[in-house]
Amino acid sequence: MRTWQIERRKRTRHLIELGGLVVKAGIVDLTGDDRAMIYGALLWMAEKLQSDQGQHARAFWTAKGKQAFAAERATDTPTIS
């Protein structure tokens, strides 16, 4: 297999995993699969991370994500909050 094919598959897997997080968080259902709304929310997150509140948001969101992953592992069911 060629190097570019391997890299393309890695990138594709990465993008699929990120999309899975959007579904796992319930965003698709909550927005009615409104891609403009989802994209807008992601842009808002990016702005927040670049602001003077970025470190706080990063710490808060990381802790919340870790808590959700831990709860999911403990119950063996997906968590949506």
The predicted structure's pLDDT at residue 81:
57
List, for residues 13-70, the tens digit of each pLDDT value: 999 999 999 999 999 999 999 999 999 999 999 999 999 999 999 999 999 999 999 9
Distances (CA, A) of 22 to 16, 33, 47, 61: 10, 10, 18, 14
CA distance 6 to 33: 31
The one-letter code for the residue type at 50 is Q
